[in-house]
Amino acid sequence: MAGFLRTEAGKGLALSAPASLYVGLLVAAPLGILVAYSFWTQTYVEVDRTLTWANYLEAATDPLVRHLMLRSIAIAGAVTAATVALAYPIAYFIAFRTRKKTLWLLLITIPFWSSYLLRVFSWKLILGFNGVMNSALLSLGLIDEPLTFLLYNEFAVVLTLAHAWAPFAILPIYVSLQKIDRALLEAATDLGCSKLERFCRVTLPLSVPGIIAGSLIIFIPTVGDYVTPSLVGGSQGKMVANLIQVQFGPANNWPLGATLSLAAMAAVGCVALLFVILATALGRRIR
Amino acid sequence: MSKPVRFPWLLAYAVAYLAFLYLPVLLLPLFSFNDGTIVAFPMKGFTLKWYAQLGAQDTLLQAMANSLIVGAVTALVATSLGLFAARAYVRYRFKGRELSEGLVMLPLVIPGIIVASSMLVLFISLGLKPSLTTVILGHVFVALPFAVSIMKSAFDDFDQSLEEAAFDLGESVIGTFRRVTLPIVAPGIVASLLVTFTVSFDEFVLAFFLSGNQPTLPVYIWSQIRFPAKLPNTLALGSLLLLASVLLLLTAEYFRRRSTKSAATSA
């Protein structure tokens, strides 16, 4: 044992073990218990530990569950698409069109470090009936009465999340653009590519890994976001996390909550996997 | 003939994008000085009273104390775990290294609600009541990836021959770590402490599920933002938090840069 600890492998394992054991235990143990709970049922105050598929049956057949699950995936997909599309030009700008890269990166990350809760809440104040946007438009005389379609719907959720997750799209795309060998771009120009052609056939394909990474980092946590749908979503914008919270809180039905958590995780995993497969296939085709 | 001046569209876009990023963030301080309870234009008048009221709110101060305790313990534990793990990942080649690295990064990509609900179920099953302890256990989990990646970049620029020289000169393993390795990566450690503290200080969903009757600051804010009458106070509190996190971030950035600079000069 002492001999093993002096080898390279031994030292590496010994040093990394506390961290990986911590994460490993806190991933595996709760999952195991969540799975166990998902097969139990809630009677009035007690948990009935007779194994049953009832929760899965309920989760699979309840139209509300299906509706919220699909809506969560759709909203997360829209957020991912919007965030990446908005982020790409700025990542491109920082990588190719400015020398003050560090300054720009810092400027982009600063808002991200302010309170997430208050940033989301701020959008509620901007988009609300008596909010900043409406009062500004009214006092400029552009509208006669407050717009009501701004807040409490999917649009507000997508906008707020696209704001909250912006750095997570910009940074990976910037990194992949920054890695591109500038000689390739010169070669493309020398071989007669127009600027647009050069972008479509060299720059864009080479930045696909950054786009994939950014998309996954945004999509996965967004599906399970709780704060944004509860603050700006209204009844049209509720997502699966809100339903899970209700089961663990007010409804006090932990077994069903556990089942929903597992179902959400499975759904996230499937969509993410599908996305990776599609994106790598696409990346190969462009190349 | 001079070339026609090209309008820099990308620069214009980048500036507009920054405005979009900062709009909701700067709204808080702007309206925190507003002498009225409604967040709308035109603003009423300038006042500092919302700030003055903050100091008298006991539940707020208690929540702040809770967050400081949780943040400090989380930062210390996550950075210690991250320090050793990052050292192993950068320095040693061993079986299971990639698996272990993937594992410690996993918390970044599990939706918060799933982490929160599953930890609640685990802790209750183990007989651990929701408290600051359970919040800390959860926060270390989510802060660890940040600590590991910061410490990895600190070790990445680290010159191995310095340690070898110390060994050759008769220093022990622990002595080398304490007298050579630690001072060089110290700026990275400070950056990691600050970032993990900030991550913990801002984390809401886990604390919402796990804090029981010991709310952290975000949980307290959550309980306040439903009441319109409390709005100006919340804005004032939010502005102070914004100021604090910007200061912390700039400090972390300063130490991170010093860490890469000292590594560059020692190499």
pLDDT tens-digit profile of A178-192? 988 888 888 888 888
Q: Which of A58-72, A199-213, B10-24 has the highest mean pLDDT?
A: B10-24
Q: Please name every residue paired with A41 in a beta bridge, in sequence order, or none if there are none.
A: A48
Nearest C-alpha in B relative to A159: B20
What is the dihedral sign for C-alpha A203, A204, A206, A210?
positive
pLDDT surpassing 80 at residue A110: yes
- pLDDT band, very low/low/confident/very high, at A17 (cuts 50, 70, 90): confident
Provide DSSP, A13-73: HHHHHHHHHHHHHHHHHHHHHHHHHHTSEE-SSSEE-S--SHHHHHHHH-HHHHHHHHHHH
* A26–B contact, CB cutoff 8 A: yes
User: What ipTM did this prediction achieve?
Assistant: 0.84
Q: In this structure, are residues B138 and B78 in contact, taking their beta carbons and an 8 Å threshold?
A: no
* Token representation of residue A70: 């699909």
d(CA B98, CA B86): 12
Helices B9-32 & A116-127 angle (0-180, nearest 10): 90
* B41 sits in which H/E element: none
**In the prediction, which pLDDT does A85 show?**
95
pLDDT-above-70 percentage for chain A: 97
A227/B84 Cβ within 8 A: no
A139/B39 Cβ within 8 A: no
Give me the residue label for tokens 């999917």: A154
pLDDT surpassing 90 at residue B161: no
Nearest to B218 among A22, A115, A221 (CB): A115
pLDDT surpassing 90 at residue A161: yes
**In the prediction, which pLDDT does B4 show?**
55
Q: In this structure, are residues A252 and A42 in contact, taking their beta carbons and an 8 Å threshold?
A: yes
Of residues B85, B76, B68, B91, the one with CA closest to residue B143? B76
A261/B113 Cβ within 8 A: yes
Nearest to B41 among A135, A163, A245 (CB): A135
Residues A132-150 have pLDDT tens digits of 788 888 888 788 888 877 8
**In the prediction, which pLDDT does B6 show?**
64
Give how far B115 is from chain A: nearest CA, Å: 8
d(CA B255, CA B194): 10
**In the prediction, which pLDDT does A115 show?**
86
Nearest to A132 among B40, B97, B246 (CB): B40
**In the prediction, which pLDDT does A152 show?**
86
B111/A265 Cβ within 8 A: yes
pLDDT surpassing 50 at residue A125: yes
Q: Please name every residue paired with A47 in a beta bridge, in sequence order, or none if there are none.
A: A42
pTM recorded for the entire structure: 0.87
Give me the residue label for tokens 């998309």: A215
Give me the residue label for tokens 């609600």: B113
d(CA B105, CA B85): 12
A131/B39 Cβ within 8 A: yes
Residues 204-233 of B with CB under 8 A from A: 204-205, 208-209, 218, 221-222, 225
Substitution target from B20, B121, B142 for chain A, most A beta carbons within 10 A:
B121
pLDDT surpassing 90 at residue B225: no
Among A5-9, A10-14, A189-193, B237-241, which is the least confidently predicted range? A5-9
d(CA B107, CA B81): 15
Of residues B205, B67, B104, the one with CA closest to residue A26? B104
* A147–B contact, CB cutoff 8 A: no
**In the prediction, which pLDDT does B211 show?**
92
**In the prediction, which pLDDT does A238 show?**
87
**In the prediction, which pLDDT does B1 show?**
46
**In the prediction, which pLDDT does B267 show?**
45
Nearest C-alpha in B relative to A140: B41
Instruction: Calculate mean pLDDT across residues B159-175.
Output: 82
Substitution target from A5, A21, A107, A113 for chain B, most B beta carbons within 10 A:
A113
Residues B81-130 have pLDDT tens digits of 999 999 889 888 888 888 888 889 989 888 888 999 999 989 988 998 89
* Chain B contact set for A126 (CB, 8 A): 23-24, 27
Q: What are phi and psi of A47, to 5 degrees?
A: -100, 125
pLDDT-above-90 percentage for chain A: 27
CA angle A133, A137, A138 (to 5 degrees): 115
Of residues B241, B46, B88, the one with CA closest to residue A17? B88
C-alpha of A282 from chain center: 21
Q: Coil, helix or strand for A268?
A: helix
Residues 76-95 of B with CB under 8 A from A: 81-82, 84-85, 87-89, 91-95
* Chain A contact set for B117 (CB, 8 A): 34, 244-245, 248, 257-258, 261
Residues A225-248 have pLDDT tens digits of 999 999 988 888 889 899 999 998
d(CA B21, CA A166): 8
A90/B14 Cβ within 8 A: yes
Instruction: Calculate mean pLDDT across residues A26-49.
Output: 83
Substitution target from B6, B30, B95, B114 for chain A, most A beta carbons within 10 A:
B114
A46, A202, A278 from A205: Cα distances, Å: 56, 6, 14
* A115–B contact, CB cutoff 8 A: yes
pLDDT surpassing 90 at residue A91: yes
* Chain A contact set for B121 (CB, 8 A): 30, 33-34, 37, 254, 258
* Chain A contact set for B41 (CB, 8 A): 132, 135-136, 139
